[in-house]
Structure 1
Amino acid sequence: MGRDDEFFPPGDDGYECGLDEATKAVALAELREDEATRSRAIGQLREWVLAHPAIRRCRTDSVFLLRFLRSKKFSVPLAQEMLERYLTVRQLYPLWFRGLSADEPVVREILLAGYLVPLPERDDLGRRVVLRRAASIDPSRHTSAHVARVHALAMECLLEEEASQVRGFVQLNDESGLSARHLSMWSLADIARMTKCFQKSFPIRHKSSKFLCLPHYASKIMEFFISLLSEKMRSRIEILPNMEDLRKVINPKILPKEYGGEVPLDQMINVFLARLEAGRDALRSLDDTDIDLDRRSPAAADLEGELAGVAGSFRRLEVD
Structure 2
Amino acid sequence: MASTATLIQPSGELWKKIREELNEDVNTRAQDLAAIKEWLRKQPHLPDEWEDACLMTFLRGCSFSLEKCKKKLDMYFTMRAACPEFFANRDVTRPELMDLLNRAQGPTLPGLTPQGRRVTIARALDKNLDTNQLNDVFKLAMMIGDVRLREEVEGIAGDVYVLDASILMPSHLAKISPAVLKKFFICIQEAYPVKLKEIHVINASPLVDVVFNIVKPFLKEKMKKRVFFHADVQCLQDYIPKEILPVEFGGNGCSLEDVNKAWMKKLEEYSPWFKQQEALKANEAMRPGKPTNYDELFGIDGSFRQLSID
TM-score normalised by structure 2 residue count: 0.84
Q: How far apart, in 2, do the equivalents of 1:299 and 1:220 lie?
A: 38
Corresponding residue number in structure 1 for 2:5: none
2:58–2:69 Cα contact (<8 Å) kept: yes
After superposition, the Cα gap between the structure-2 partners of 1:312 and 1:184, relative to the gap in structure 1 and judged at 3 Å, is: farther
- Describe the shift of the 1:297–1:176 C-alpha distance in structure 2 as closer, same or farther (beyond 3 A): farther
In the alignment, the residues of structure 2 paired with residue 47 and residue 269 of structure 1 have an alpha-carbon distance, to the nearest angstrom, of 38
Matched, 1:85 2:75: yes
Alpha-carbon distance in structure 2 between the residues aligned to 1:285 and 1:301: 24
Any gaps of 5 or more consecutive residues in structure 1? 1-17, 314-320
CA–CA distance in structure 1, aligned partners of residues 189 and 291 of structure 2: 14
The one-letter code matched in structure 2 to 1:185 is K
Match of 1:251 in 2: 241
C-alpha displacement of 1:74: 0.9
Is 1:51 matched with 2:39?
no
C-alpha distance in 2, partners of 1:58/1:67? 18
Equivalent-residue separation in structure 1 for 2:71 and 2:165 (angstroms): 34
Measure the CA separation in 2 of the matches of 1:300 and 1:34: 35
1:236 aligns with 2:226: yes
AA in 1 matched with 2:117? R
Name the residue aligned to 1:109: 99
Displacement after TM superposition at 1:196 (Å): 1.7
Structure 1 residue 294: Cα displacement? 2.6
Deviations 1:231-277 (A, max 9, x none): 22122111111111122221223222222223333222222223324
| Aligned equivalent of 1:3 | none
Q: Is the 8 A contact 2:103 2:129 kept in 1?
A: no
Code of the residue aligned with 2:112 in structure 1: it is R
1:65 is displaced (CA, Å) by 0.6
Equivalent residue for 1:179, pick from 164, 169, 183: 169
Aligned equivalents of 1:42 and 1:167: distance in 2? Answer: 19
- Aligned match of 1:268: 259
Q: Does 1:199 align with 2:194?
A: no
Written as runs of structure 1 = structure 2, the 5 A alignment for 1:291-310 is 291-296=282-287, 301=292, 304-310=294-300
Corresponding residue pairs, total = 294
In 2, are the aligned partners of 1:23 and 1:166 still within 8 Å (CA)? no
Match of 2:279 among 274, 288, 294: 288
Q: Does the 8 Å CA contact 1:165/1:205 hold for their aligned counterparts?
A: no
Aligned residue runs from structure 1 range 64-79, under 5 A: 64-79=54-69
Aligned partner of 1:38: which letter?
R
In structure 2, C-alpha distance between the alignment counterparts of 1:49 and 1:143, rounded to whole Å: 34
CA distance in 1, matches of 2:214, 2:288: 30
How many angstroms apart in 1 are the aligned matches of 2:137 and 2:268?
19
Task: Give the distance between the partners of 2:89 and 2:13, measured in 1 at CA.
Answer: 36
Cα distance in 1 between the residues matched to 2:54 and 2:178: 32
Who is 2:19 aligned against?
28
Report what 2:112 is aligned to: 122
Distance 1:172 1:307, change over 3 A: same
Give the Å deviation of 1:281: 4.5
Deviation of 1:93 (Å): 0.9
- Give the Å deviation of 1:299: 9.2
Task: Map Cα deviations across residues 82-119 of structure 1 (whole Å, 9 max, x no partner).
Answer: 11111111101111112323222221222233421222
Cα RMSD of the aligned pairs, angstroms, is 2.6
Q: List gaps (5 residues or longer) in structure 2.
A: 1-8, 304-310
Amino acid at match of 1:25: K
Secondary structure, counterpart of 1:221 in structure 2: helix
Higher helix proportion, which one?
1
Q: Residue type of the partner of 1:181?
A: S
Are 2:22 and 2:60, in contact at CA under 8 Å, matched by a contact in 1?
yes
Query: Could you tell me which amino acid in structure 1 is paired with residue 32 of structure 2?
Result: A
TM-score (norm 1): 0.82
